Amino acid sequence: MAYKILIVDDEKMMTELLSDHLRDCGYDTITANCSRQAVEMLPKQPDLIILDINMPDMNGLELCKNIRSHINCPIIFVTARIGEQDKINGLQYGGDDYITKPFSLNELTARVAAHLRRDERNKGRTAVLTSNNLIVNLSERAVFYGDTVVPFSKREFDIIEFLMTNANQVFDKERIYEAVWGYDAEGDSNVIKEHIRRIRGKLNEITGQDYIETIWGVGYKWKRL
């Protein structure tokens, strides 16, 4: 199976160039043109990330800092910054390598191959779900918004995982109850309404956004924002 490489750069021409070249070299590629798109790509579990530093919404350093604890794959920074402190910052923020523009495609390809050969961390990659800057670490059973941990009870987390895994699908409270508590559970599915209320409150307090939509008379769904 070919290695999967995520390419993140706000210049679409650059992502297309690198994607075409790396595909010709036998890799699978996925691309993103901003940090938000990059976060949404994390559930695809890339084996390596090529990350530009200079991006308008959130620069590559901050993005690397936010996602590093949730992914184990190598990250190669690509940037026009050439100062020694810039390189130090890149490594301190969690990057594994640093290549400055302009660069040759052969050099980049050699570095990609070297990191993939050395890297064995991908054998234990962490499973994550993402939604509009919200990161749900399934291995740690924790929810993050940037550097902030959003606290949830076990049942609340289970509901979030179920709805996010099936985003944009509508489920009534009975189906959610069965999925989280189990088919043989003895209880009242009306508890789902209270759990959803608490989840919404916690998320809105931290993010200012509503991730769960009520479809009146039908049920609930996780919105792809």
pLDDT along the chain (225 residues), means of 10: 91 94 95 92 92 87 87 86 68 82 88 80 69 88 91 92 92 88 66 92 94 92 83
pTM value > 0.95:
no
Cis preceding linkage at 102, omega within 30: yes
Tell me what pLDDT residue 95 has.
85
Which pairing describes strands 134-137 and 97-100: parallel, antiparallel, or unpaired?
Answer: unpaired
pLDDT of residue 191: 87
Q: What is the pLDDT of residue 73?
A: 87
The answer to whether 177 and 192 have CB atoms below 8 angstroms apart is yes
pLDDT of residue 136: 92
71, 121 in Cβ contact below 8 A?
A: no
pLDDT the model gives residue 117: 81
User: Backbone dihedral region of 80: left (phi > 0), alpha (psi from -120 to 50 degrees) or beta?
Assistant: alpha
Q: Please tell me the predicted confidence (pLDDT) of residue 184.
A: 55
- Whole-number Å distance between alpha carbons of 9 and 2: 22
Residue 86 has a pLDDT of 67
